[in-house]
Structure 1
């Protein structure tokens, strides 16, 4: 008996709880969503048309309101409630938020209830290009609280000034790249790689300018490609500049190498302390060039140019010291070498005189020999 009474009490409690706890609503589903235009960015003022069906959960009735919202301007809503395929009279609205009362949607749980909706409006004016809500659909309970996750359709609406500004900025950057290319070209720097990037950027900007505003994404992609090419062009130009500075520094190194080889091949100068100074300066210059090349490899072109300038200064010093050493060596066999250009001229004059004297002597000796032979011939 006690067990039977306990079971009856448990059944009664469960039944009471069923009456107290409200049924959980199953969310509406959105079907057959059609949007025109179906793709691409929208320009403010563009007409947008939507049509779709909202299906009420099967097997139950509901008292929740169905709420629909749009950011389109001048919205025109029209909806028809279908009960088991039978339509009610259409209802229109021109507000941004359309609410269909749960009372209008409450039928027997066995009934099939759906709502056919059409919406027409225009893309709104925006201060910056951004996604705007074409339609958002959700349920509100009797207290006005949103239930579940809203169903949302958005589209990008273009602020046409954005693309105009982007094109203008890209053209400004392109013009600066052209100026930089011309400056470096005038210095004899190879600008071919940078020029290729310039041509790519110019082509992309031209393409962006020709696209309609509805092709905002394509235009923006073209501008992005253009600005990337401009950045690459400036980088390549910077690299070419650094490489040119390194090549310039290599010039006096090559010159001094030739003199060092000459001095090392001469026994009288091979071990001269002055040659050691020249070689040390040359080695320092070469180490700077090596560092400059490392900076180029690592993409640090400003540091590469700085090292190349140091290399040029040191290499030039080495070369000038080598020339001074050479002049001193030549002075040991040319007593006029210390007089500079005047000494060179004087030395050349003396050489001419010496050659002339030797020539005269040879002529006189030749005449004497000729006469002696002639006299011998006469004596027979």
Structure 2
């Protein structure tokens, strides 16, 4: 008994399933012209609808077939073909054509299809958007749309103002990028890679001016990507320059440290220790700048590079002052000895000679008096 009930349920399910699955098959519509459309353009459409039998009928008697378009001044030519014989349907005007089950329903043994052609004009739009060129759907007995039967074709209707505005926006972005490149060039930053992206982005914007909407949007999207990529490359080049600047005073300080330690054999002078400590601090900043640069954090990398440059300059200044002190001590020491010791001895000798000369002169004068 349970088996019979189960079998009956399966049969009922299959019957219902056939009715649900029944509907129409729409061939791929031929739409002229192709591509994006603009307001006022005349459009022609042709396609075929094949009826899929529903149980014993080619189309459910209680349902309705709707054919719709967003085109203005729509003129329809619908021809029913049954078993190869054409039966013209009265010409329709307006955006929708309704064909009831009473017209379409025939025994499932009949081969039935509809040949449809449409002419109309593209409606105007306030902004670029998609519009329905053709829609085929089935309505049930309550005029509710059966979702599984919806078959639609849309096209992009272009508002020319949108293209003009989009191009203007990209040109403004391009000019901003140009300014950034020029500023970095004046700073000594290597802008070669950014210049290449700028040239490619400029060419993409130029091509958009003579392209249709879809191609123009692709070109403008490409230009945006190129500008964004170029800005990143420019940012990295700027960071590279700051790192290069920071490395210069550190390298010069290292040369002076070698001079002190090797040429002068100085190892324990506190002035040298200060130079070395500041130089090592600068190197730590520089190492952080390089790591951040490798991670793509160019802004923070530049901050660390500037810290390295400042600390490196402090170290270099101290090293230069230390070297000058050593030179003064070396040359100034002889001058100091000459001014004190030598000149002192000379002064004493002069005094002694003067005293001796004085007494000799008095003695001579005394003998002359006698």
TM-score (structure 2 length as normaliser): 0.79
Residue number in structure 2 paired with 1:301: 298
Deviations 1:1-23 (A, max 9, x none): xxxxxxxxx9xx99xx9xxx999
> Counterpart in 1 of 2:127?
128
d(CA) in 2 for partners of 1:156 and 1:319? 66
Coordinate RMSD, CA, aligned: 2.7
Match of 2:44 among 36, 49, 60: 49
For residue 353 of structure 2, what is the aligned residue in structure 1?
A: none
Q: How far apart are 1:142 and its partner, in Å?
A: 2.5
1:22/1:291 Cα in 2 relative to 1: closer, same or farther (>3 Å)? closer
Q: Secondary structure at the match of 1:265?
A: helix
Structure 1 residue 267, shift from structure 2 partner: 4.8
Question: Aligned pair 1:247/2:257, yes or no?
Answer: no
State the alpha-carbon separation in 2 of the partners of residues 325 and 170 from structure 1.
Answer: 57
- 5+ residue gaps, structure 2, are 340-370
Contact 2:128 / 2:159 at 8 angstroms: preserved in 1?
A: yes
Which residue number corresponds to residue 154 of structure 1? Answer: 154
Say if 2:319 is the partner of 1:322.
Answer: yes
Equivalent positions of 1:122-271 (< 5 A) are 122-147=121-146, 148-211=148-211, 215-267=212-264, 269-271=266-268
- Equivalents in 2 of 1:32, 1:273: separation in Å? 89
Matches within 5 A, 1:319-358: 319-335=316-332
C-alpha deviation, 1:319, in angstroms:
0.8
Matching residue within 301, 307, 314 for 1:310: 307
Distance 1:195 1:144, change over 3 A: same
Q: Residue 273 and residue 32 in structure 1: after superposition, are their counterparts in 2 closer, same or farther (change >3 A)?
A: closer
| CA shift for structure 1 position 35 | 1.9
Moved more, 79-88 or 201-210: 79-88
- Contact conserved, 2:24 with 2:149, CA < 8 A, in 1? no
Distance between the aligned counterparts of 2:66 and 2:178, measured in 1?
Answer: 57
* Residue 336 of structure 1, CA deviation: 8.3
- 3-state DSSP class of the match of 1:196? helix
**TM-score, normalised via structure 1 length:** 0.77
Structure 1 counterpart of 2:32? 36
How many residues are paired up?
320
Task: Write out per-residue CA displacement over residues 320-361 of structure 1, whole angstroms, 9 at most, x where no aligned residue.
Answer: 111221122222223289xxxxxxxx99xx9xxxxxxxxxxx
Query: Equivalent residue for 2:103?
Result: 104
Is the contact made by 2:271 and 2:322 (CA closer than 8 Å) also made in structure 1? yes
Counterpart for residue 84 of structure 2: 85
SS at match of 2:332: coil
Distance (Å, rounded) in 1 between the aligned partners of 2:149 and 2:80? 23
- Distance change (3 Å), C-alpha of 1:324 and 1:105: same
Q: C-alpha distance in 2, partners of 1:109/1:235?
A: 66
Deviation digits for residues 158-193 of structure 1, max 9, x if unmatched? 222222222111110110111111111112211111
